[in-house]
Amino acid sequence: DTAVSQTPKYLVTQMGNDKSIKCEQNLGHDTMYWYKQDSKKFLKIMFSYNNKELIINETVPNRFSPKSPDKAHLNLHINSLELGDSAVYFCASSQVFRNQETQYFGPGTRLLVL
């Protein structure tokens, strides 16, 4: 009954490969996010979708392509992986109540590019 789940938890792959990370939320939220946490532990937003529509797209290489098949899922596909893509990727979903937003995060996907 995990609220926000991500698969896989760990991903080790070679440079140049293409990989996908999946995220699912069972909270009924309309908005989902992808964040990246680098080796220095800074968390940065990458993308946000609301009801399957892209609404935040930070300066991220176009090798990263999010896809939201429905509002409960937000997947992240990465083409031509590079060493610098190694990081922890967190998915989140959020609800807004009286213009106050609370975000709920998944457990993270630890990506290591060799």
Partner 1 sequence: DAKTTQPPSMDCAEGRAANLPCNHSTISGNEYVYWYRQIHSQGPQYIIHGLKNNETNEMASLIITEDRKSSTLILPHATLRDTAVYYCIVMIGISSGSARQLTFGSGTQLTVLP
Query: Rounded to the nearest whole angstrom, what is the least distance from the CB of residue 68 to partner 1 in the complex?
Result: 12
Taking alpha carbons only, the member of 42, 45, 41, 1 closest to residue 25 is 1
Tell which positions 83-102 bind partner 1, by CB under 8 A.
Answer: 90, 92, 94, 96, 99-102
Residues 12, 15, 27, 43: which binds partner 1 (CB under 8 A)? 43
What is the C-alpha R_g of the chain?
Answer: 14
The token pair that represents 18 in the structure block: 């293409």
What is the residue type of 69? P
Residues 64, 68, 106, 111: which binds partner 1 (CB under 8 A)? 106
